[in-house]
Structure 1
Amino acid sequence: MEKRWHFIPPVDESKSLELSSAINCPLPLATILVNRGVSSFEEARDFFNPNLANLHDPLIMADMKTAVDRVLTAKKNGEAILIYGDYDVDGTTSVSMMYSFLKPHFDEIDYYIPDRYTEGYGISKAGIDYASENNFSVVIALDCGIKAIEQMEYAREKGIDFIICDHHRPGDELPAALAVLDPKRSDCDYPFKELSGCGVGYKLMQALCAIEPELANANPPANFLDLLAVSIACDIVPVNGENRILLFHGLKKINENPSPGIKRLLGEHAANDREITVSDLVFIVGPRINAAGRMERATKAVALLTNSDEAQLSELGSLINSQNQERKDLDRAINEEALQMIAEDNWYESAVSTVVYKPGWHKGVIGIVASRLIETHYKPTIVLTEYDGKVTGSARSVRGFDIYEAIDACSDIIEQFGGHKYAAGLSISPNKVDEFKEKFDQSVRERIKEEHKQPIQDIDAVLTLDEINNSFYKILKRMGPFGPKNMLPVFATHYLDDAGYSKVVGSDETHLRVVVKNEGSNIMISGIGFGMADKIEIVQSGEPFSIAYTIEENTFNGKTSLQMKVKDIQFTDELLQ
């Protein structure tokens, strides 16, 4: 499906010119900085030099002093403490971090990750029973709990004090835990609202060290910035403010001195001289951690991330790698099966949504499959399977469309659902699947707009090929780490010609290698477009074309050069008409 290019306009051209002059930066990059809220010399200085000293005082966060006092009292009295967390990357890194930090100070300490299939997301009564039966008087819950109203009443009946560290948006009522740490609380004055769950846990660690500095002697919080970096990268939180500072220093630790568990997850990628990036965390580390919770219990991931014994690291690393391979095989097979269903059913031709269902599909991977289906059929998508007598589903949306709202309109035939604008989960009765499929499609039809039906390619700036040089790339690279609110800039260059060397590549000939030049110029640059072999017709047509791309380094035969990582190719005249 052809993308619609959206050229992001300058917020303030005069400020862009001033910043370009003040920091000796190419105007296209200065414009991107201003568009992202960096418009003065001082702001640019802080942006290019993220400093841990600029983190906010953790004690500003609502309930923080109460939480600190309770943990320190438990330490003084020799009480047992349980670290509880969700089964995804944010939850497992949070638990690993907090457990490792507190372990030297507590004789009785353990961790608990709920089972995805028998307990579900968040704080479960089974988890509270485990705490009660094993005499844990204090539980620190990470990356979950902000809506655990009934569970906290149950915990109070059991005499267990909960400290909730969450980053999700609260409901109308806060759970009656001893302390609820969540910067999104309406009554919380903490300045930065977009911490990950692991980030909230990190602030608790900082606050504990601020009140009792000797805690930092055994394990200063900075020792765990690599775990926090994995959380920030994989939980898709905004990479600005405190998150950018923490991610910057976490990546630095990963590249200089990663914890044994993260090093094991990176495998051969940590053994060479290549710099580890956010992409490595998202596409290498994150899926392996998630696989543990998708295929079995995420406690295996925590065991790996908290271990230093080489034999155990090897055993756990091999297990998680095999689980990740099993997960990849499963989601690939289910994706192919779903695509075949869609191709063979005429219903989907006129539908504005995609809803596919098969009872035997693995519950742990249907969210991944929903995302994959959108890559092929760009529609709001729900993948359903059956587990324990109930049909459960994962929903994923297209840009700009609120899938939560569309599901909510079907709430009369849904047993349970939750989520947000772009992703949600739901459960329905098996005999309601067909009715739900029709009703959801009608709900989408009533809400979807034309601009939601076509994928959009944002363009941060237009360049000519002579602007792409090592000096430009050096500044561009320092704009990282990249992520939401600070995405890797996408550039466009118009009126390009094939330099005569472009071709289809790859063992299956699905990729595209281009070598291009601007009209009337001898400057050439190469590029790679994965899965874009069909664009060879445009490149070799003899007509001028435009490329949307990011800039990256490519090393071949010991020589490093800049190249385009191609995002899209279109005829220039058609694009600009």
Structure 2
Amino acid sequence: MIAQPTPPLKRWIAKSFPGSPDERRAIESLTTSLGVSPFLATLLVQRGVRTFEEARAFFRPEISHLHDPFLMKNMDRAVARLQMALAGQEKILIYGDYDVDGTTSVALVYGFLRNHHPHIDYYIPDRYKEGYGISRQGVQWAAEQGFSLIIALDCGIKSVERVAEASRLGVDFIICDHHRPGQKLPDAAAILDPKCDDCPYPYKELSGCGVGFKLLQAFCLTNNIPLDGLYGYLDLVAVSIASDIVPITGENRIMTHYGLKVLNSTPRTGLKALINVAGFKNKNDLDITNVVFGIGPRINAAGRIQHAKAAVQLLLADHDDEADNFAMAINKHNNDRRTFDTSMTEQALDMIRQNETLLNAKSTVLFDASWHKGVVGIVASRCIEHFHRPTIILTQSNDKAAGSARSVPGFDVYEAIEACADLLEQFGGHTFAAGMTLPVDNVEAFRQKFEEVVSQTIKDEHLTPLIDIDLPLDFSEIDARMCRVLKQMGPFGPHNMQPVFMTENVYLVGEPIIMKEKHLKIQVRQTRTGHAHWAVGFGMAHLAEHIQPGMPFSICYHPDLNTYNGDTRIQLMLKDIRVA
């Protein structure tokens, strides 16, 4: 097991709210119109909800509020090229990345279009033999098999050479991507990417699967196909949004809201099997957290350990027995992934602790040719839990160094990597996560340049873990109704995080309880005679020694309703404890 050092102290940042007369008026208006407390109205205004109509849309998202897909640049060209392929009985290849977003995208577009076109297949590149994005092998295979149209999902926006090569071989591309474009765009039949500078689409934060969904939405509208059938695929879109950690606002919030409904009521056969092996068989209120930590990692594990095609096969399965077999195999891959993850994380942390230069740096770049490529991103995230700074974990793949980057809140790791582009062969990603390939001989030069770039651009505050606190909260305001209203503010995720509250001067009731040697359970009350609540802090056992009966301390947390053996009680989910 990895030695667990005491995590770094966290910064508690309390929002200054309400700050303006307009915000105060909005709080008063919502308090009256919604019949809620000023406290809950303040939480809504913090999230940009200021009117009764906005509150109704926030609490009751409507599928009819999805944007017209033809607002996206090139959507008309994309649909026209797809229509031409269908009319001409062309062979269409659905091509997607090997992560959760890519595999759900392929399952969505292939699964839907196969009902309207017989000459269709899908392709997932091998993570280890082909790497990220459009591969030469994939293009050549498509041409050899007689495909004349490739619909690329969650990749392709920077594949200028591969798309040009496909064109020479008589293969067109429709690119559905959500990553930042490079300076030059591929010469494709159509490019759908709301992040292109000249794309007027009103919502920029779709997942790759979300862009694929918009293409199908436009296809349905063009052909007078009822949209209800397409909406049944929103469970896949919700899984992609949750797992790719895109903002859960705007259209993403609407699609996640309805996707979770599908996931909890009538999930497709493959996802149902995955829900069962993840231990959620009798759970009918799956949320974003369950998807992120239970479903997403298992889908990812297929491509990390063997080949992601197995994940698509699972997601497309029609029969329970078939789905169960795929799900059990993928669950084994996930267990294997955990073994690699634990071992590599221990090695990576030791490398940092034993090297004074790495220990005192403002970034982490580690390379080991023996590491498993499939878990480098996970290991990067684990390192950030211990050393809170931008981190890149590299291994050797096909005679190249390849790896993944993860960042910390407030720092754009993609821009830092882009500043080192002269040392890289390929890179792509987002603000907080990216991937790259470079010559092995360039690793040390890249490490030095990346550290130089990060040191010049990162702020000291970014190097300390941050807890955003929405409001101070008195225990007297916590009741079951409040917890239910807070839950209705979900689905939670980036840009709509679960509200976190702070209560100062609480007192311990009884002795702290340590669960499984690493989790903390305590009973606390705000005054020596006030009402007591149970509170649980996962991974916080090390804080037990700092709190004593009779000694006041502060907590930040979110309140939840916990049901056990039919008994529902309020439970505070701790984020941190601070002793005066």
TM-score band, normalised by shorter chain: over 0.9
5 Å matches for 1:520-559?
Answer: 520-540=528-548, 542-559=550-567
| 1:518 alignment counterpart | 526
Partner-residue secondary structure (3-state), 2:12 = strand
- Contact 2:507/2:549 (CA < 8 Å) preserved in 1? no
Cα pair distance change 1:325/1:542, threshold 3 Å? same
| 1:447 alignment counterpart | 457
**Structure 2 counterpart of 1:157, which letter?**
R
1:26 aligns with 2:37: yes
| 1:120 alignment counterpart | 131
Structure 2 alignment gaps of length 5 or more: 1-7
| 1:467 alignment counterpart | 477
Q: CA deviation at 1:525?
A: 0.6
Partner-residue secondary structure (3-state), 1:286 = helix
| 1:419 alignment counterpart | 429
Partner-residue secondary structure (3-state), 1:247 = helix
Q: Distance in 2 between matches of 1:410 and 1:200?
A: 29
**Structure 1 counterpart of 2:544, which letter?**
I
Moved more, 476-485 or 422-431: 422-431
- Contact 1:415/1:426 (CA < 8 Å) preserved in 2? yes
- Contact 2:249/2:495 (CA < 8 Å) preserved in 1? yes
| 1:212 alignment counterpart | 223
Write the deviation string for residues 365-419 of structure 1: whole angstroms up to 9, x where unpaired: 1111011011012222222222222222322222223334444454554444443
Cα pair distance change 1:59/1:282, threshold 3 Å? same
Write the deviation string for residues 221-254 of structure 1: whole angstroms up to 9, x where unpaired: 1110111110111111111111111100000011
Q: Distance in 2 between matches of 1:200 and 1:94?
A: 9
Partner-residue secondary structure (3-state), 2:32 = helix
- Contact 1:378/1:398 (CA < 8 Å) preserved in 2? yes
1:15 aligns with 2:26: yes
| 2:259 alignment counterpart | 250
TM-score norm. by structure 1 comes to 0.94
Q: Distance in 2 between matches of 1:419 and 1:37?
A: 28
Moved more, 371-380 or 423-432: 423-432
Cα pair distance change 1:112/1:57, threshold 3 Å? same
5 Å matches for 1:89-108?
Answer: 89-108=100-119
Cα pair distance change 1:541/1:386, threshold 3 Å? farther
1:2 aligns with 2:9: yes
Q: Distance in 1 between matches of 2:471 and 2:441?
A: 52
Q: Distance in 1 between matches of 2:503 and 2:155?
A: 45
**Structure 2 counterpart of 1:353, which letter?**
S
Cα pair distance change 1:401/1:206, threshold 3 Å? closer
Q: CA deviation at 1:526?
A: 0.5
Q: CA deviation at 1:504?
A: 3.0
| 1:61 alignment counterpart | 72
- Contact 1:80/1:106 (CA < 8 Å) preserved in 2? no
Write the deviation string for residues 98-119 of structure 1: whole angstroms up to 9, x where unpaired: 1111112222110001111222
Write the deviation string for residues 122-168 of structure 1: whole angstroms up to 9, x where unpaired: 11222111111111122111111112222222122122221111112
Cα pair distance change 1:440/1:211, threshold 3 Å? closer
- Contact 1:4/1:457 (CA < 8 Å) preserved in 2? yes
Q: Distance in 1 between matches of 2:422 and 2:211?
A: 36
Q: CA deviation at 1:96?
A: 0.2
TM-score norm. by structure 2 comes to 0.94
Cα pair distance change 1:52/1:402, threshold 3 Å? closer
Q: Distance in 2 between matches of 1:424 and 1:202?
A: 23
How many pairs does the alignment contain?
568
Q: Distance in 1 between matches of 2:395 and 2:368?
A: 5
Q: CA deviation at 1:335?
A: 0.5
- Contact 2:180/2:429 (CA < 8 Å) preserved in 1? no
**Structure 2 counterpart of 1:123, which letter?**
I
Q: Distance in 2 between matches of 1:298 and 1:179?
A: 26
Cα pair distance change 1:304/1:401, threshold 3 Å? same
Q: CA deviation at 1:540?
A: 1.4
Partner-residue secondary structure (3-state), 1:105 = coil
Alignment counterpart, residue 346 of structure 2, candidates 336, 355, 366: 336
Q: Distance in 1 between matches of 2:76 and 2:341?
A: 45
Partner-residue secondary structure (3-state), 1:473 = helix
Cα pair distance change 1:407/1:93, threshold 3 Å? closer
Alignment counterpart, residue 266 of structure 1, candidates 263, 275, 284: 275
Write the deviation string for residues 156-190 of structure 1: whole angstroms up to 9, x where unpaired: 21222211111122223322111111222233222
Q: Distance in 1 between matches of 2:360 and 2:200?
A: 49
- Contact 2:264/2:284 (CA < 8 Å) preserved in 1? no
5 Å matches for 1:233-244?
Answer: 233-244=242-253
1:561 aligns with 2:572: no
Q: Distance in 1 between matches of 2:233 and 2:421?
A: 42
Q: CA deviation at 1:557?
A: 3.0
Q: CA deviation at 1:439?
A: 4.2
Partner-residue secondary structure (3-state), 1:104 = coil
Q: Distance in 2 between matches of 1:53 and 1:29?
A: 27
5 Å matches for 1:99-178?
Answer: 99-178=110-189
Alignment counterpart, residue 55 of structure 2, candidates 36, 39, 44: 44
Partner-residue secondary structure (3-state), 1:480 = coil
Partner-residue secondary structure (3-state), 2:197 = coil
Moved more, 27-36 or 527-536: 27-36
Moved more, 336-345 or 476-485: 336-345
Cα pair distance change 1:188/1:350, threshold 3 Å? closer
Cα pair distance change 1:448/1:552, threshold 3 Å? same
Q: Distance in 2 between matches of 1:205 and 1:138?
A: 16
Moved more, 240-249 or 343-352: 343-352
Cα pair distance change 1:175/1:405, threshold 3 Å? closer
Q: Distance in 2 between matches of 1:463 and 1:497?
A: 15
- Contact 2:420/2:449 (CA < 8 Å) preserved in 1? yes
Q: Distance in 1 between matches of 2:412 and 2:436?
A: 15
Cα pair distance change 1:432/1:126, threshold 3 Å? closer
Cα pair distance change 1:171/1:433, threshold 3 Å? closer
Q: Distance in 2 between matches of 1:434 and 1:32?
A: 47
- Contact 2:179/2:428 (CA < 8 Å) preserved in 1? no
Q: CA deviation at 1:275?
A: 1.1
Q: CA deviation at 1:522?
A: 2.2
Q: Structure 1 vs Structure 2: percent identity of aligned residues?
A: 48
Q: Distance in 2 between matches of 1:518 and 1:99?
A: 56
Q: Distance in 1 between matches of 2:442 and 2:550?
A: 55
| 2:5 alignment counterpart | none
